Amino acid sequence: MKTVKQLLHKKGHEVTTIDHEASVYDAMQLMAANNIGSLVVMRDDKLAGILTERDFSRKSYLLDKPVKDMQVKEIMTHQVVYVGLDNTNEDCMSLITEMRVRHLPVIDEGKVIGIISIGDLVKDTISEHQFVIEQLERYIYETRVPSQGIRAS
């Protein structure tokens, strides 16, 4: 099982952030421009929350005001589920399933250094399964096909 450190090494450490006082409109534009489903919300260079498409779709209409007048802090998720570098893919999948989230910020020494999505985890799991399948196919082929070595007379 891969660790978050290994996943980030392959994926990269890019994290798109937004200030907690930014408008929800700006946040949605940022997500659309980057083709992502969440933003890490910062306050004074510290993790303040996470804003997801789900937050927007479920909470913004309750405020009954224009999106340009809403602040991120009004609809973001304040209790952030996160992981560290030593957590495994399996740990992340369990958290995502149990906590019903789709994005896990990665925290190291108190700083956000990456983000892992459910898509990243599924992609990695499929890759691992594909590797195992290829190894099994190779084993089966090698045990069924006779060796092409030179026969001594």
Domain boundaries, the chain: 4-144
Exposure letters 85-107 (e unless 16+ CB within 10 A, then b): bebebebbbebbeeeebbbbbbb
What is residue 125's predicted lDDT score, i.e. its pLDDT?
Answer: 83
What is residue 146's predicted lDDT score, i.e. its pLDDT?
Answer: 61
Give every residue of the chain whose pLDDT is below 50, as ranges. none
What is residue 153's predicted lDDT score, i.e. its pLDDT?
Answer: 55
Instruction: Give the CATH fold of the 4-144 domain.
Output: CBS-domain (3.10.580)
Q: Which residues contact 32 (CB under 8 A, 6 or more apart)?
A: none
Report the distance separating Cα 38 and Cα 104, nearest Å.
10
How do residues 114-152 score in pLDDT, each as one tens digit?
Answer: 999 999 999 988 877 777 778 788 878 777 766 565 555
Please list the residues that pair with 8 across neighbouring strands: none
- Please tell me whether the overall predicted TM-score, pTM, comes out greater than 0.85 for this model: no
Question: What is the Cα gyration radius of the chain?
Answer: 22
